[in-house]
Amino acid sequence: MQVPLATLERVHELRNQIDQHNYHYYVLDDPLIPDSEFDRLLSELQELEACYPELITPDSPTQRVGAQPLEYFAEVLHKVPMLSLSNALNDQELEDFDRRVRERLEVAFPIIYAAEPKLDGLAVNLRYESGVLVQGATRGDGITGEDVTQNVRTIPSIPLRLMGSGWPEVLEVRGEVYMPTAGFRKLNLDALAKGEKTFANPRNAAAGSLRQLDSRITTQRPLEFVCYGFGELSGGDLASTHSAAVHKVAAWGMPISPELQSVAGLSGCRRYFDAINERRFELDYEIDGVVFKVDSLQHQRSLGTLSRAPRWAVARKFPPQEEATRLLGIDIQVGRTGAITPVARLEPVSVAGVTVTNATLHNADEIRRKDIRVGDRVIVRRAGDVIPQVVRVVPQDSGTREPEFVMPSHCPECQSELIRDGDGVVLRCSGGLFCPAQRKEAIKHFASRRALDIEGLGDKLVDQLVDKGLVESPADLYLKLNPELLAGLERMGPKSAKNLCDAIEKSKTTTLARFLYALGIREVGESTAHSLAGFFGNLQALTTAERETLLQVPDIGPIVADHLYTFFRQQHNQEVLDDLLAAGISWKEVDQPEAKQTLLAGKTLVLTGTLSRPRAEIKEQLQALGAKVSGSVSAKTDYLVVGTDAGSKLDKAQNLGVTVLDESGLEALLRSIGAA
């Protein structure tokens, strides 16, 4: 049935009107018409779309009502990583940030910063193509997030279609989904009335609401959005400064913080921070600090980023809040890497609006230093307004106290012996291959690219295998998995199951060095694993070695020797090793290569520039010959191997008198010892 022209025009008119009213109501907080009139406009549009379903588009205001539940969230790879922010917990750290910015930019004048409150919600990336919202994704790990498009469509303040014109062909807007405090209170009151579980704080409520598989639930939650940055941008420009770019997208209907300001220098940052801190509890949303960003986008590009955070931005966190409560007990928690942490079990207390029942005690030394004992009245603080910790004991006038707390000697999860880290402070469980608390991390490390390199065995699949009880140790990958079992898992089919089984089978042929690294022994990295393989030549000699023998290996000190000795003396670790070997893992036995190492044994090399072979391949070859491969040049560097486009490392090596080799020089060196 052909749609009448008048109907097409009316639908277009209604959508424009509704979008304008949504913008004025949710973004500007300045409604132009009564709710009843808005409802009539929306109802008319719904009726027209019901008569002519072909008119329904993803950017129609009627599509905010939610859709059928999803089975799971699909993954989204962020074209531009969503980085975290470095924190400044006090004035000195903020001053240090400003100094570093000016030094790197080599300027003496005050830097202009864009300043705005740091909302406590969930970071999301909104992708617009030709002005239409096509995807919404959570931050995830910064590289990969979850596709929550159906859910972000239900948030009234997020435009489904940008207003005006002139937007880039692709525009990724980044910001925070949050729940206003008034909406949070009402949500919890409604839950209490229904006898349902309440949320601990607005942040948890926002995160839980946005990550509902059923978007019809999300649409019932009072969520809002505010833009604070950008991701991918193509087919157009925004502005030369961050603040101007944010205001530009605001003109297209995007909600931004009304508190956004440009401030000059450190003094401007301090004044803004103090002003927001004074009004913190007057705002209708929770914030945990203020974000300062270098306003000039050119300066941002010059400053660049670190691996996890930009150099041009910092979050100045508010001072933590403290409350007193009673310490009811001390529990022992085993982390994913085996770290043993004492945790305070507390009489429930509200700290900064959050009910706290547990708090970290860090380690035994901290407990001893603060003289914390069960039964004490203690001060609890939310460090950075996030992680609860016990600050100190409240002095008491009289009465006896409980005995001093003593840390256990064995892991509460698997009864393996606890050993101290190199700094002597942190205790760790030595049962890495066996301990239930470490199971997932041990298997993920075992299968990683530089270990046994099991292609296709990603983190989420490992989580599934462990959670379902299908895999309890790395040996189970070889002993228990088969294509039929794997094909029944989420996101797995017959072909992917067979491919994974083939990859597991392929990984059985490896090297002794890779196998040792895969075991995840504390402080045994790739270089140390190569040294051990080269020194002992076979696994039996290593597993039975005494501490004195281990100390003869180059670069093995008393701490690493203790880690190795303890690991190989644990009965359950030995059982896993036996199972792995019985499953068919093997390597080519070679003579101990001391004779070939006369030139490179103990030498330190650094690789830089673009090389003709993968850097990991060259590194592994050098380590097999007893060399150490470092990431930075120093006076202890013996050789710098340079490819094309070598940078500052070459200059530093020349200044220090380090021998520089190009690739042909390296090959000649390897040939001279029969290794090429």
| Residues annotated as part of the active site | 118
**With contact defined as beta carbons under 8 Å apart, do 96 and 298 qualify?**
no
HEC letters along 322-382 = EEEEEEEEEEEEECCCCEEEEEEEEEEEEECCEEEEEEECCCHHHHHHHCCCCCCEEEEEE
Tell me how far apart the alpha carbons of residues 55 and 63 are, in angstroms, rounded to a whole number. 12
Of residues 116, 113, 112, the one with CA closest to residue 258: 116
Tell me how far apart the alpha carbons of residues 666 and 676 are, in angstroms, rounded to a whole number. 9
C-alpha of 539 from chain center: 36
β-strand partners of 136: 126
Supply the DSSP symbol for 61: G
Question: Phi/psi of residue 431, each to 5°?
Answer: -95, 50
Helices (H) and strands (E) in the chain, counts: 25, 24
**With contact defined as beta carbons under 8 Å apart, do 167 and 131 qualify?**
yes
Of residues 159, 135, 137, the one with CA closest to residue 28: 159
DSSP letters spanning 100-149: HHHHHHT--SPPEEEEEEEE-SEEEEEEEETTEEEEEEE-TTSSEEEB-H
Strands (E) in 414-459, as ranges, are 418-420, 427-429
Q: How many CB atoms lie within 10 A of CB 611?
A: 17
Of residues 577, 599, 597, 605, the one with CA closest to residue 531: 597
Q: Which residues contact residue 362 at a Cβ distance below 8 angstroms, ignoring those fewer than 6 apart?
A: 341, 342, 389
Tell me how far apart the alpha carbons of residues 488 and 463 are, in angstroms, rounded to a whole number. 15
